[in-house]
Amino acid sequence: MIRTYGHEIAEELALHSDIPVINGLTDRYHPCQVLADLMTIREHKSRLEGLKLCYIGDGNNMANSLIVGALKCGMDVSIACPEGYTPHQEALDYAATVTDAKFTLTTDPKVAAVDADVIITDVWASMGQEEESEKRKIAFQGYQINDELMALTAPGCMVQHCLPAHKGEEITEAVFEAHADEIFDEAENRLHVQKAAMVLLMGNQ
Ligand code: NVA
């Protein structure tokens, strides 16, 4: 497993490796976290296919992996990011190949949130972007999961956050606390779903 910054570093390791390489997080993708998110959504909603997943915020590694992972599971995906912070072209190109689920990219969180069954966000400045945090606080104004946005979602909409959360920035304290059980199930499921990944890659089949 490699957890690093530049995605090309993980790709180079995989190129030279004759054993499976797990992406533990790169600047471009965060597949292990998204497996935990998908597991948690299925745990709470009993299915994935046909549900609408909405992501609000930075078009970062979480957004990219959610696009790929949720579309692969037959979920509709809507993403709201400010201009200049859109998901990676590779993830958008993948979305363009999917025909059995809907994909929407917008700059308007209120458009993205309509009828969502699960709504997800992430910090405005990820690991390694700390020096950009003041600039990002301005760019991401309005990209917050709050009661007003939750009112637009489907009844029983879940909230997921990969943590640590910056309450008052990408999510309000009220929404976080109202959905803390779902968010902490998501954190717990990192352990279980990563064990599943290891069984698939290293277990006797
Ligand atoms: N976007 C975040 C994900 C951490 C779980 C980061 O890269 O810091």
Mean pLDDT (the chain) is 97
In the residue annotation, 3 being an active-site residue is answered as: yes
What are the residue boundaries of the structural domains of the chain, listed by start? 31-203
pLDDT band of residue 204 (cuts 50, 70, 90) is low
Tokens 């190109």: give the residue.
Answer: 93
- Tokens representing residue 85 in the block: 């912070």
Quick check: pTM over 0.75? yes
Atom 5 of ligand 1, residue of closest alpha carbon: 162
Compute, in angstroms, the gap from residue 184 CA to the centroid of ligand 1. 16
Structure tokens at 144: 């917050």
Q: 119 C-alpha to center of ligand 1: Å?
A: 17
Would you place residue 205 in the very low, low, confident or very high pLDDT band (cuts 50, 70, 90)? Answer: low
Q: pLDDT digits over 93-106, tens only?
A: 999 999 999 999 99
Q: How confident is the model at residue 203, as a pLDDT?
A: 83
Distance 204 CA to ligand 1 centre (A): 32
Residue 108 is among the residues annotated as catalytic for this protein = no
At the topology level of CATH, where does 31-203 sit? Rossmann fold (3.40.50)
Helical ranges in the chain per DSSP H? 7-16, 31-45, 61-72, 89-97, 109-113, 133-139, 147-150, 173-178, 180-202
Tell me the Ramachandran region of residue 56: left when phi exceeds 0, alpha when psi lies from -120 to 50, beta otherwise.
Answer: beta
State whether the beta carbon of 199 lies less than 6 angstroms from ligand 1: no
Q: Mean pLDDT over residues 109-128, rounded?
A: 98
